[in-house]
Amino acid sequence: MSNEDNVELTDGFHVLMDTLKMNDIDTMYGVVGIPITNLARLWEQDGQKFYSFRHEQHAGYAASIAGYIQGDKPGVCLTVSAPGFLNGLTALAHATTNCFPMILMSGSSEREIVDLMQGDYEEMDQMNIARPHCKASFRINSIKDIPIGIARAIRTAVSGRPGGVYVDLPARLFGQTLSVEEAKQLIFKPVDVTPAQIPAADAIARAAEVIKNAKRPVVMLGKGAAMAKADAEVKAFIEQTGIPFLPMGMAKGLMPDTHPQSAAATRAFALAQCDVCILVGARLNWLMQHGKGKTWGNELKKFVQIDIQANEIDSNQPIAAPVVGDVKSCLSLLTEALKGAPKAPAEWTGALKEKVDTNKGKLATKMAAPVAPTGMNYSNSLGVLKEFMLKNPSINLVNEGANALDNTRMIVDMLEPRRRLDSGTWGVMGIGMGYCVAAATVTGDPVIAVEGDSAFGFSGMELETICRYNLPVTVIIMNNGGIYKGNEEDPGNGLVSCTRLIRGRYDQMMEAFGGKGYLVNTPEELKAALEEAVASKKPCLINAMIDPDAGVESGRIKSLNIVSKVGKK
Ligand code: OXT
Ligand code: ADP
Ligand code: MG
């Protein structure tokens, strides 16, 4: 395309695509429609990847977890205006809450009409609606601002505490033109978007002192450390100090769960009895009972907290030794400062080891328990997956549900970092199939998703997406016919209990789209199906029939339920 002076022109579509490519972004997840269909089309024609979903929320979840796995590059989701944007917004808020770097880009309607509320096609003031749900919300009005706008979005998403960023793309931006020459001069790659953030020397000295004086120290590894790819630094720190460690759900595998210093099998005891807890990229939020109460025992704990976000410190409890900086820099300096210090006291590590061995023995007995006529339970079924994952550690494990989530986290050991992708900070249902698509496409490795039957329902239609792209994803439905349990008594009046679902043929759903379905009733059948499914490298779904009575209300977080003091439960 050129103008009347024969100057070669480019347009908004191409300047945006060239800017993204300049920033090594080659993948978008989304749903097309007015005004962004041609952006996705041109993107694909250019040899880039566009994963087209059935619902924007799942495309957004895919982008959010792509950001987590990549760490230094945001996942990108593309949506249409108003309803498409709103569908994607849940995922943007999720990314921000979980500290995952993600950019939601959405087409939007004509500013003049939107601002006067004159009823445009899919009218909505998207930029302002997005603002409270992300780190920053930008609008790019002029083609010349595309490179700066995208640079701001990328840097905001990945630097400091990562999170979600919204970029509003009004329809008419795509049609604006610019000379190819000028576009070339404007498009750039921002320098050092994830700079090292070195902690202060006195913060390191203070933390080292607290750790040296600890009698019963424990390290809590969080998904911030996993996302930062601080694998080597974490290993060096843990092994040099000899301090036992506990992983939060998504930090499992950052240190192998089979490591002799893992205290995961005696979490409650370790938290209640420790005197010093070293938080590494983990927040003292609800998942850690805010650092207080019964879980943390009677004695006041001393916390060392490594975090990139300064105001995370003291958010729930006074922190004796804050270390503000990026986790890699913080840990390597701390490890250096602790060189030559004695290892964690043997009395403490020995007591933990004893508990770990006892609890592992108890769990092994549960896993070996025979199957009741009413179906498998969570232990004897997930024992099969445990064995399988130990032999195949380079598989991504997506996991959601209540009992399906908690039991998998407890039973299935992870040996590699960033392989366990779960409901995260919000304990949200619906991440399942979106996470599967991103995990398969970003890592190139197979995916197993362990899904409660309710959890799966939130994103089940994306089975078609998984089949359309022929991804190596095996979905296991832990089918107990309900939310927590599948056998709650109906209330009468022709109504069905609010926790009950049809214990149906999810395997046939998969077959409807050309994938392979399995229906299994025993651990032996599950094992055979799992081996065949993963080896096929094709979309498969295993419908594992679980005893409807096997689960417990809300899994491990029952205490958060409010129970009525009057009338029936
Ligand atoms: O030390 P103790 O004795 O305490 O024991 C611990 C470990 O030491 C031990 N352990 C081991 N023992 C032996 N060997 C080994 N290797 C070992 N490893 C560990 O096991 C225990 C447990 O260990 P853990 O997990 O480390 O410790 P603990 O104490 O549990 O940790 C605390 C937590 C809080 C960190 C942990 O529990 C956690 O991470 N929990 C996350 C919980 C969560 O996020 N739940 C999901 C939300 S529930 C609810 O909200 C649901 N909804 C509502 C809804 C949602 N969420 N979203 C949306 C969009 N809409 C609605 C719904 C609809 S769940 C749900 C669906 C549920 O139905 P499904 O059909 O999907 O699922 P089913 O329940 O299967 O039917
Ligand atoms: P978990 O759920 O595993 O406990 P959280 O999401 O609660 O983890 O906490 C992750 C923490 O990690 C956040 O407070 C975030 O600021 C921090 N974080 C993220 N990236 C880095 C990094 N590169 N260096 C240090 N801290 C980080
Ligand atoms: Mg269920």
Distance of CA 401 from the midpoint of ligand 1 (Å):
8
Question: Nearest-CA neighbor of 137 among 95, 103, 98, 110?
Answer: 103
Q: Are 189 and 23 in contact, with CB atoms under 8 Å apart? A: yes
Residue-wise pLDDT for 514-557, tens only, equals 999 999 999 999 999 999 999 999 999 999 999 999 999 999 99
Interatomic CA distance for residues 298 and 289, integer angstroms: 14
Structural contact between residues 30 and 78, judged by C-beta atoms closer than 8 angstroms: yes
pLDDT above 70 as % of the chain? 100
Pairing of strands 177-179, 9-11: antiparallel
- What's the 296 CA to ligand 2 centre distance in angstroms? 21
Q: Closest ligand 1 atom to the C-alpha of 289?
A: 34
Tokens (6 digits) for 416: 């590699």
> What pLDDT is recorded for position 568?
65
* Ligand 1 atom closest to residue 404's alpha carbon, by position in its atom list: 75
What strands, in cross-sheet order, belong to the sheet with 540-545?
A: 420-422, 396-400, 447-452, 473-479, 540-545, 516-520
Look up the CATH number of domain 9-186.
3.40.50.970
Which is the closest atom of ligand 2 to the Cα of 326? Answer: 24
Confidence band (pLDDT; 50, 70, 90) for 569?
Answer: low
Q: Which helix (H) or strand (E) holds 325?
A: none
Distance (Å, whole) CA 397 – CA 543: 17
Burial bucket for residue 565 (CB in 10 Å: 0-12, 13-18, 19+): exposed
Distance 453 CA to ligand 3 centre (A): 5
Single out the residue of 285, 317, 323 nearest to residue 304, CA to CA: 323
Instruction: From 197, 307, 319, 421, give the residue whose CB has the most ligand 2 atoms within 8 Å, as the site to mutate.
Output: 307
Strand order in the sheet with 75-79: 49-52, 27-30, 75-79, 102-108, 164-170, 136-139
CA 543 remoteness from chain centre: 24
Domain coordinates of the chain in residue numbers? 9-186, 201-353, 368-545
Nearest-ligand number for the alpha carbon of 67: 2
Per-residue pLDDT tens digits for 489-508: 999 999 999 999 999 999 99
Q: Which helix (H) or strand (E) holds 473?
A: strand 473-479
**Which residue has 């793309």 as its token pair?**
169
Alpha helices in 23-145 (DSSP H): 37-45, 56-70, 83-98, 111-115, 126-130
Q: Under 8 Å CB-to-CB from 351, ≥6 apart: which residues?
A: 273
**Segment 226-258, tens digit of pLDDT:** 999 999 999 999 999 999 999 999 999 999 999
Candidates 70, 73, 161, 290: which one to mutate for ligand 2, based on the most atoms within 8 Å of Cβ?
161
- Evaluate whether 302 touches 320 at the Cβ level (below 8 Å): yes
Q: 127: how many CB neighbours lie within 10 A of its CB? A: 19
What is the Cα Rg of the chain in Å? 25
Place of tokens 């809300």: 554
Q: Are 175 and 107 in contact (CB under 8 A)?
A: no
Token pair of 19 as six digits: 């800017």
For 470-488, write each residue's pLDDT tens digit. 999 999 999 999 999 999 9
- Burial classification of residue 361, based on how many CB atoms lie within 10 Å of its CB (0-12 exposed, 13-18 middle, 19 or more buried): exposed
Residues with CB under 6 A from ligand 2: 98-99, 161-162, 222-224, 227-228, 248, 250-251, 281-283, 285, 287, 307-309, 312, 326-327, 425
Residues with CB under 6 A from ligand 1: 249, 264-268, 287, 359-360, 363, 401-406, 409-410, 423, 427-430, 452-455, 478, 480, 482-484, 551, 554-557
Closest ligand 2 atom number to CA of residue 227: 20
What size, in residues, is the chain? Answer: 569
What confidence score (pLDDT) does residue 300 get? 86
Query: Which of 64, 194, 223 for a ligand 2 pocket mutation test, highest count of atoms within 8 Å of Cβ?
Result: 223
In this chain, the answer to whether the domains covering 9-186 and 368-545 adopt an identical fold is yes
Say how far apart CA 106 and CA 209 lie, in whole Å: 50
Atom of ligand 2 nearest to the CA of 248: 3
CA-to-CA dists, residue 272 to 244, 282, 497, angstroms: 14, 18, 38
Rounded to the nearest angstrom, the distance between the alpha carbon of 401 and the centre of ligand 3 is: 7
Q: How many angstroms separate the Cα of 149 from the Cα of each of 91, 139, 161, 315? A: 21, 8, 20, 32
* C-alpha 99 – ligand 2 centre gap (Å): 7
122-166 tens-digit pLDDT? 999 999 999 999 999 999 999 999 999 999 999 999 999 999 999
pLDDT score for 430:
98
pLDDT confidence of residue 167: 98
- Number of other residues whose CB lies within 10 A of the CB of residue 428: 19
- Positive or negative, the Cα torsion across 464, 469, 470, 473? negative
Torsion of CA 243, 249, 252, 258, to 10 degrees: 70
- Nearest ligand for residue 409 CA: 1
Q: Is the pLDDT of residue 567 over 80?
A: no
Nearest atom within ligand 2 for CA of residue 249: 3
* CB contact at 8 A, 439 and 505: no
Give the Cβ contact number of residue 350 at 10 Å: 10
| Residue-wise pLDDT tens digits, 1-33 | 788 788 999 999 999 999 999 999 999 999 999
Please, which residues have CB within 8 angstroms of residue 231's CB and are 6 or more apart in sequence? 254, 417
The angle formed by the CA atoms of residues 312, 315 and 316, to the nearest 5 degrees, is: 140
- At 298, the pLDDT band (50, 70, 90 cuts) reads confident
| Distance in angstroms (rounded) separating the CA atoms of residues 429 and 401 | 7
The predicted structure's pLDDT at residue 4:
79
| Phi and psi, residue 341, nearest 5° | -70, 150
Q: Which two tokens stand for residue 486?
A: 């599948």
Query: Ligand 1, closest atom to CA 453?
Result: 70
Q: Which two tokens stand for residue 30?
A: 């989304």
Output the residue whose Cα is nearest ligand 2's atom 22. Answer: 326
C-alpha span between 57 and 359 (Å, rounded):
39
In angstroms, what is the span from residue 406 Cα to ligand 1's centroid?
3
Q: What span, in angstroms and rounded, lies between the C-alpha atoms of 100 and 85?
A: 19
Rounded to two decimals, what is the model's pTM?
Answer: 0.98
- Segment 183-199 shows an average pLDDT of 98
In angstroms, the CA 217 to CA 270 distance is 9
From 57, 58, 406, 554, mutation site for ligand 1 pocket: most ligand atoms within 8 A of C-beta: 406
Q: Where are the alpha helices (DSSP H) in 223-306?
A: 223-227, 231-241, 267-273
Fold exhibited by the domain 368-545: Rossmann fold (3.40.50)
Residues 194 and 162: their CA atoms lie apart, in Å, by 10
Which ligand is nearest to the Cα of residue 553, counting in written order?
A: 1
Nearest-atom number in ligand 2 for the CA of 220 is 4
- Mean pLDDT, the chain, rounded, equals 97
CATH, domain range 201-353: 3.40.50.1220
β-bridge partners, 372: 375
Ligand 1 atom nearest to 427, measured from its CA: 44
Q: Which range, of 8-17, 204-213, 369-378, 406-415, averages the lowest pLDDT? A: 369-378
Note whether 15 and 45 are within 8 A (CB): no
| Nearest residue (CA) to ligand 2, atom 18 | 224
Q: Which residue has the tokens 């078609």?
A: 464
Structure tokens at 506: 């999810």
